[in-house]
A and B are shown apart, each in its own frame.
Chain A
Amino acid sequence: MSQTIRNEASEDAVSLTDTTAQAHAEPLDLMAINRIAFQTIVRKEIRRFARIWVQTIVPPSINAVLYMLIFGSLIGSRISDMDGFRYIDFIVPGIIMMAVIINSYSNVVSSFFSSKMQNYIEELLVSPVSNLTIVIGYVCGGMARGLLVGSLVALVSLFFSEIRPVHPLVTISVAVLTSMMFSLGGLINAVFAKSFDDISIVPNFILTPLTYLGGVFYSISMLPPVWQTLSMFNPMLYMINGFRYGILGTSDIPIWTSFLVILIFIALLGTIAMTLLNRGTGIKH
C-alpha cells in the first residue's frame, strides 16, 4: 500500500489540491447539498429493499394472494353482495391498502432502526444534510416499497376480480398519502425502538389488528351501533374507505373526511418526527 501511495501522490497531487481549493472558495449551496443527499438516501433505501426482495417484496405479495384466494374465491363465493358489490370486489381495495400500510411502515422502521443499531446513522449525522431531508428521504424510501408492493397486489387482484378504479386520482392520492403517513409512523417507531422486539410490536399488535377492524373485510354498516361508533376512532377506517371509494365509488366515510384525517395524521407525525430528530432522541447522547 505504501507503494501505491508514494507513486500516485505526485501524479494526482495537483488535481486534488485544485478541487479542494475550489470547493472552499464558494459558500455552501445548501439547496444543492440537500437535493443530492435526498437522492442518495432514496437510492440507498430502494437498493436496500430491492437487495433483500425475498424478505421485503415476496411475502407480502403472497399474503395478499392468499387473502384473495381464501376470502375472495373460496369463501367469498358463498357470501352475498356487500354494499352492492361482489364480496371479492369489496375486499380487494382493503387488501391492497393493507399491503401499502404494512410495507411502508416496515421499510422505514427496519431500515432506520438498523442504521441506529449499527451506528451508520452517524454517516448522516456528521454530514451537512438537514433533518428534514433525512425524514423526507426515508419516507420516500418507505413509500417506494409500500406503493410497489401495493401495485403488485393490485396487479395480482386482476386475476380475481374485475374492478377498475372509478376515481383514479382519488385512488392514487389516498394510496400515496397513506403510504407517507405510515412511513412517518415507522420512522418515529424506529427512533424510540431499543431492540428488534420494539420494531415488531407496533406492526403485529397495533397495525395489523387495526386494519382488520378498519373495514377491510366488512362494511361497518353491518356492525351494531356501538361498534360502528368505536370504529370511527380507528384511523385505518378512513384510509381503507377512502381507497375503496377511489376504486368502487362507495365508502362508509365521506371521501373528504378521509382526506382530512390522513392529512391531519401526516402533519402530526411529521412534526413529531422532525422534533425527535432535531432533539437527537434515541440517536445522540
Chain B
Amino acid sequence: MNALSIAGLSKTYGGNVHALKGIDLDVPDGDFFALLGPNGAGKSTAIGIISALVNKTAGKVEVFGHDIDQEPEAAKASIGLVPQEFNFNVFEPVLPTVLNVAGYNGISRKVALTRAEYYLKKLDLWDKRKTASRQLSGGMKRRLMIARALVHEPRLLILDEPTAGVDLEIRRSMWEFLTELNEQHGTTIILTTHYLEEAEALCRNVAIIDGGEIVERGAVSQLLSRSMQETFVLDTRGNPDVAPELPPFTLRLRTENRMEVDVPHGHTINELFQGLSGQGIEITSLRNKTNRLEEFFLRLVKRKTGDGA
C-alpha cells in the first residue's frame, strides 16, 4: 500500500495564484522521500493540503488508503507534521506543548508522559522541558516540532525544511535520528529541503516540483546516473598560464593554484589525471564543486525557466 497517493491535486490561492497545477504523486509505505523545488514551487502548499491545513481546489489525496475527504480522522491520525514555520504557543513550555498534541490525538495522559519523555530525551530537549518555547534557540524549536510530530507515533512523518537554520552537528544527528526512524520503525518519511546534499544522503526517492508541476521524479540513484556531467575543483601546485586544452574535459582557471573541470558522464577521473600529468600539472586535492544532486537540480530548474544550460 502507498503511504501517500495524490492524483490531480491542484490549488489556486485567491483565484489567481496557481500554486499546484494538478500533480500526481505516489510514495510507497516505508519510503524515505524528498520533495525538492525552488522557493514558491508549491511544496508547502502540497504538504498543507495533505495535512488538512490548506483546502485543495481539486484532486484526490489518500494517506495509507484513507481519503482525506472521506476519512479525515484516519488520515490525520497517521500523519505527523513538522511545518516550515514555527507554530507553537510561544508562552507554553516544551513539555505541555508535546502533551497537548498527544491529547489532541487521543493519547491518554499516562502514555503521553512516557512518550513525551522518550522523544524529548531523544531530541535532547528534556532538560528544557519547563522552558517556554519562545526562549528556545532556532534549532531547539525545530527539534521540538519533531518531538511534537512523533508523540502519536504516526506512520507517515512529513517534514517541511526540518534542518533550515540548524547547525551542522545537530543536522547530522537529525539525519541519524530520521534514518533510524525510517529503518527501524518503518516510518515513511517525506521531507523538503534546499540542501540537496541532505536529500542525497537520506532519501531513496525524489520528486522535483517547479511552478506547481512535478518536473522530474525517480530514485535518487537513477537521477544521479542521468547527470550529464560533474564539476570538480582541483588544487594544484601552480597553474599553467592558460587553461589546459584537454578534450573531452573543460578546464577553467580560478586562482593561482586552483582550477575547475567539467567531467562529462561516461569519462573517468583517471583519464583526466593522465592528461593533466602529461602536461606537468600536479594535483594536490580534488573535490566536487557542488553536490551531484544539486547540479542535476539546478540544470533542471534553469532549463525550465529558460535562463541557462
Contact = CB atoms under 8 A, between A and B. Distances in A.
Given A1-B170, A2-B173, A5-B173, A37 B103 contact: yes
Given A20-B185, A33-B105, A285 B13 contact: yes
Nearest to A127: B104
Interface string B1-34: 0000000000001000000000000000000000
B106 A36 contact: yes
Given A118-B90, A280-B55, A37 B106 contact: yes
A8 B106 contact: no
B185 A17 contact: yes
Contacts of A43: 103
B106 A284 contact: no
B245 interface: no
Interface string B91-128: 10000100111111111110100000010011110000
Interface stretch (A21-29, A92-100, A171-179, A187-195): A21-29
Interface stretch (B72-80, B189-197, B212-220): B72-80
Interface string B151-164: 00101000000000
User: Size range of the interface on B?
Assistant: 35 or more
A284 B55 CA distance: 7
A6 to B, nearest CB: 7
A123 interface: yes
Nearest to A3: B173
Interface string B39-79: 00000000010011111000000000000000011101111
A147 B109 CA distance: 26
A2 B176 contact: yes
A51 B109 CA distance: 21
Nearest to B75: A128
B155 A24 contact: yes
Contacts of A36: 103, 106-109
A128 B89 contact: no
B181 to A, nearest CB: 9
A61 to B, nearest CB: 23
B73 A33 contact: yes
A114 B73 contact: no
B81 A126 contact: yes
Contacts, number: 128
A9 interface: yes
Contacts of B13: 285
Given A17-B184, A37-B103, A123 B87 contact: yes
A1 B173 contact: yes
Given A20-B185, A34-B106, A127-B105, A122 B77 contact: no
A39 B103 contact: yes
Given A2-B176, A5-B176, A16-B118, A29 B53 contact: no
Given A5-B177, A47-B96, A126 B106 contact: no
Given A4-B122, A16-B118, A122-B87, A128 B153 contact: no
B89 A285 contact: no
B76 A126 contact: yes
Nearest to B55: A284
B99 to A, nearest CB: 8
Nearest to A111: B89
Give the residue among A19, A43, A127 with the most B Cβ atoms within 10 A.
Answer: A127
A29 B148 CA distance: 21
A270 to B, nearest CB: 21
B53 A32 contact: no
B271 interface: no
Given A17-B185, A280-B55, A6 B176 contact: yes
A114 B90 CA distance: 10
A8 B55 contact: no
B83 A122 contact: yes
A41 to B, nearest CB: 8
Nearest to A121: B87
A280 B90 CA distance: 23
Contacts of A206: none
The winner among B52, B106, B107, B122 for most chain A CB atoms within 10 A is B106
Contacts of A128: 72-74, 76-77, 104-106
Contacts of A44: 96, 100
B118 A30 contact: no
A198 B276 CA distance: 72
B1 to A, nearest CB: 12
B17 to A, nearest CB: 10
19 contacts: A1-B169, A4-B121, A13-B185, A16-B118, A17-B184, A28-B73, A28-B74, A35-B106, A40-B99, A40-B100, A40-B104, A114-B89, A122-B83, A123-B101, A125-B53, A126-B52, A126-B81, A129-B104, A285-B48
Interface of A: 1-2, 4-6, 8-9, 12-13, 16-17, 19-20, 23-24, 28-30, 32-37, 39-41, 43-44, 47, 51, 114-115, 118-120, 122-130, 280, 284-285
Given A4-B121, A127-B104, 19 more contacts: A4-B122, A6-B176, A17-B184, A19-B153, A23-B153, A28-B74, A32-B106, A36-B103, A37-B104, A40-B99, A41-B103, A51-B91, A122-B83, A123-B87, A125-B53, A127-B105, A128-B74, A128-B104, A129-B104
Q: Which 9 A-B pairs have the closest CB atoms?
A: A40-B103, A33-B106, A127-B104, A2-B173, A119-B87, A128-B73, A1-B124, A1-B173, A128-B77
